[in-house]
Amino acid sequence: MTEERAVPVDELEALYKEIAAAELRPLWTITEQLLTPTPRPKAVPWLWPAAVMRPLAERSIGLVPVERGGERRVLSLVNPGLGGQPYAAGTLWGAIQALGPHESAPAHRHTPGAIRFVLEGEGVWTTVDGDACEMRPGDLILTPAWNWHDHTNTGDGPMFWFDGLDLPMIEALDGVFFEPHPELRQPVAGRNVSEGGYAAAEGRLTHGQVAESLDPAPSPLLVYRWTDTDAELGRLAERTGDAMVSVEFTNPRSGASALPTLACAMHRLAPDHSTLPVRRSGNSIYVVHRGTGTSVIAGQRFEWEPGDMFVVPSWAPVEHRAETPADLFTLSDSPVLRALGIHREQTLDSAQTVTGMFRP
């Protein structure tokens, strides 16, 4: 038995007051909220329906010009758990961007990296460091950190796409830099140049499994065409017969993720099969490309259709069930967790017990 020592209460109170006044905090009073047994993301599972976002984005085209000053016609996903911050999750920016016929969103660059996943329309070109990349529905376009970029709609109709950025991560690192380009549109050196060296036959190079290594150099390939993704998913589904097949978009030079901070993937679900619940450290945003179905995230059911976007916060178990053949695009921060050697992933069975666990 240790000897009980009477604590003089007023001395203790005085100590706490002086600690606080000195801009110090005793760990023993806050350790449980800081060092949690598992992640406690502030972001909550949430779904933004296309049926709500699309009309608001379209109305913005008529009412809000996109010139210097406004710059980009973007509606960001605001996760209700984040106290009003314009972020989909603690580490991820997600948004719907709209560009009307014959409009240009001004050229600029920033240290946060960005990806675009095209929802609807045709005729928009995103120029990335001089390479004008055509955007078609289902295509993935990369805008790596500090690359000049601008979007130009050469068509007669509006165009809509999903934007994903690592902005909250770079903000947390106090690493945000931004610079407007002197011109509205940067000079175009060529069209779809980055694709030249990576033919569809080399699909394994661009649609594989991300190697668990960090490549700080961005992918030399800036565009991943839906036609190639679709073909690779079709081959995989046929070869494996699995109810869910996935491809990750990889850097063809190193096998690393699409951007050093962001992983992008496409998942194909066969109808009427439920996937096993999986939970991962790190946040994900899903964009429904094709089909309808339901996902259960931390026990909450979300029904989805094309153009819907939803968030799976870190460590929330998620399972999917498609009603029709479905393709889900995902964006996640997993490359950062992997590079740091702290990525975790568990597959649960329906009784929520662990059936398999992966740790690096």
Q: Which residues bind ligand GTQ (CB under 6 A)?
A: 72, 74, 95, 97, 114, 149, 163, 165
For the purposes of burial, counting CB atoms within 10 Å of the CB of 36, is it exposed (0-12), middle (13-18) or buried (19 or more)? Answer: exposed
Give the residue with the Cβ less far from ligand GTQ, 95 or 119: 95
Residue number with CB closer to ligand GTQ (149 or 279): 149
Least distance to ligand GTQ, CB of residue 16, Å: 44
Question: Buried (b) or exposed (e) across 96-127, using 16+ Cβ within 10 A?
Answer: bbbbbeebbbbbbbbbbbbbbbbbbbebbbbb
* 163 vs 327 by CB, closer to ligand GTQ: 163
Q: How far is the CB of 96 from ligand GTQ (least distance, A)?
A: 8
Nearest distance in Å: CB 101, ligand GTQ: 18
For the chain, state the CA radius of gyration. Answer: 23
For ligand GTQ, the closer of residues 73 and 338 by Cβ is 73
Least distance (Å) from ligand GTQ to the CB of residue 343?
26
Tokens 């998942």 locate to 267
Rounded Cα distance between 88 and 81, Å, is 9
Identify which of residues 165 and 256 has a Cβ nearer to ligand GTQ in the complex.
165
CB of 65 to ligand GTQ, least distance (A): 16
Find where tokens 């800036």 sit: 222
Task: Say if residues 135 and 125 touch (Cβ distance below 8 Å).
Answer: yes
Q: Nearer to ligand GTQ by C-beta: 315 or 329? A: 329
Using the minimum distance from each CB to ligand GTQ, give the nearer residue, 170 or 210: 170
Distance CA 133, CA 155 (A): 14
Concatenated DSSP letters of 224-244: E-HHHHHHHHHHHHHHH--SE
Residue nearest to ligand GTQ (CB): 163
| In the complex, least distance from residue 95 CB atom to ligand GTQ, rounded to whole angstroms | 4
Alpha carbon of residue 134 to chain centroid: 21
Min dist CB 186 to ligand GTQ, Å, is 12
Residues 289/328, Cβ–Cβ less than 8 Å: yes
- Alpha carbon distance 235, 30 (integer Å): 52
